Amino acid sequence: MVASAGVLLLSGPAMTQDKPIKIGFVSTFTGPTAVIGNDMRKAFDLALDHMGRKMGGRPVEVIYEDDSQKPDVGKQKTQKLIESDKVDFIAGFIWSNVLLASLKPIVDAQTLFVSANAGPSQYAGELCSQYAFSTSFQNDQTPQAVAEYMNQKGVKTAYLIGPNYAAGKDTLSGVVSAFKGKVVGEDLTKWPDQLDFSAELSKARAAKPDAIFAFYPGAAGVQFLNQYAQQGLKGQIPLYTVFTIDQLSLPLQKELALGVAGAQHWVEDLPFDSNKKFVVDFRTKYKTSPSFYAAQSYDAAQLINSAVVAAKGDVTQKDVMRDEMRKANFPSVRGPFKYGNNHIPIQNFYLQDVVKNADGSFGLKTVATIVEDSQDRFASKCPMKW
C-alpha cells in the first residue's frame, strides 16, 4: 500500500501536465458579422502556434462557442463552458450587450476572463472584477481620441450617428465628453437590423455641421460608408469614425474609405518586434492582413499564457495568475502598456489613415499619436484596489 501511494504521488504532477488547459472562446461565428469572430479565432489560434500549442508545459484545448450576436445565446454558451466544459479561462466577446449578459456567471464562478473586444462602461466601472480583464479598450476611449483630433482640426459643430446598443451609446457619449465644439444632432439607430441610414444622413445634411461622426462595425459600416457617398456627402461634410473602417471592411469600402479619419490603439505598421512577427505570420498563414479584432485576440491568448506560466501550469492558483495578469507582462502587439485598477489597458491611441497600396489593395497606416497613456473615465467607479 505504501509503495502504491508513492507511485500515485509521483504520477500526480505528470498527470496534471498531460491534462489540457481549457479555454472557452465566445464570439460570433455565423451571420453577417461572422467575419469579425473568425478573424478573432484565427489570431487566437496563431498565438497558440507561437506557443507551441502549450501553456506552462501543458497542452491547450480551446472550445469555440457562437453567440449568434444575441445576449441570451451568449449567456447560455458561457454557462455551458463553465458548468459542462469546466473551462479554466474564458475569452472573446465582440458585442458589449452580449458581454454584459454573460458577465455575472463568469464572475460568480470565479473564472478568469479576458474580453478581446467588448468594453462597456459598466465593465470598466461598477461591474469591474478581480477575475475580469481586457486586451482591448473601454468603449469611450477610441471615440474620445477621435474627438480630440476633431478639436485639433478646429471642428466647431458635429452630428453624431451610431447604433442603439451598449457600445453605440458609450461611443457617442465618449465623443460628447471630449469634443469641445457643439453637437448639433444625434441619432441612435436600430441594431443590428437597420442597414438603411438615408434618413439619418438627410437629417445630418440639413443640420449643416462641420463634421459627421459615425460608429458602425462590420456590414453596417460598409453600408453606412456607401450611403454617405451616394448622398453626396463625401467631399462635402468631413466624416470621422471609429471601428467603421478596418482590414475586414476595407476590401469592400475601397476608395470610399480614403480621406476618412479614424483612431485606434493598434495599427498593423506599429514598429514593435512582437507586432511585426504577428502581422507577417498572420498574412503568411491566412493570406490576408489582420484586423484590430485579431490583434486584441492574439494579445488575449498571450495574457492567459503569462498567467499559466507564472502559476507553473497549476491553474488552481488563481491569485497567482490574476496578479501576473495585472502586470501585463507579455509582448503586446500594441507595445508596452499597463493596467488600470479596473483591468482596462492604459495605452496610446493613434490617428490612422487609409492608403492605397502599389498592388491596388487598401491598408491602414499610423499617422500620429493623438493621446498617450489614455485611461478610461470609469476607472474611478471601480471599487478594486491593488
From the first residue on, what is the mean pLDDT of each consecutive set of 10 residues in the chain (386 residues)? 52 67 98 96 98 97 98 98 98 98 98 98 98 98 98 98 96 98 98 96 98 96 96 96 96 95 96 98 97 98 98 98 98 98 98 93 95 97 94
Residue 372 located in a structural domain? no
Domain end (from 264, 296, 325): 264
What confidence score (pLDDT) does residue 204 get?
98
Q: How many domains does the chain have?
A: 2
Residue 6 pLDDT: 52
pLDDT of residue 17: 74
**Domain containing residue 295:** 2-137+270-346
Q: Is 49 inside any structural domain?
A: yes
Q: Are residues 102 and 73 in the same domain?
A: yes
Domain contains 54: yes
Same domain for 277 and 228, yes or no, is: no
Does 40 lie in the same domain as 161?
Answer: no
Q: Say whether 346 sits in a helix, a strand or coil.
A: strand
Q: Do 176 and 325 belong to one domain?
A: no
Question: 168: domain CATH number?
Answer: 3.40.50.2300
Same domain, 230 and 323: no
What is the predicted pLDDT for the residue at 187? 98
The answer to whether residue 378 is domain-embedded is no
According to the model, what pLDDT value does residue 233 have? 97
196, part of any domain: yes
For residues 131 and 10, state if they share a domain: yes
Assess if residue 145 is contained within a domain: yes
Give Cα 176 distance to the centre of its chain: 22
Domain termination residue (choose one: 218, 234, 264): 264
Task: State the Cα–Cα distance between residues 7 and 4, nearest whole angstrom.
Answer: 5
Asked whether residue 11 falls in the same domain as residue 115, the answer is: yes
Does residue 291 share a domain with residue 150? no
Is the same domain home to 8 and 109?
yes
Quote the CA–CA distance of 69 and 95 in Å, as a whole number.
7
Residues 251, 164, single domain; the answer is yes
Of 264, 279, 301, which marks where a domain is finished? 264
In a domain, 70, yes or no: yes
In terms of domains, do 108 and 150 share one?
no
With respect to residue 204, please indicate whether it lies within any of the assigned structural domains. Answer: yes
Tell me the pairing of strands 345-356 and 338-339: antiparallel
**306 and 279 part of one domain:** yes
pTM: 0.94
The single residue listed with the C-alpha cell 503569462 is 306
CA atoms within 13 A on the CB side of 322: 17
pLDDT given for residue 72 in this prediction? 98
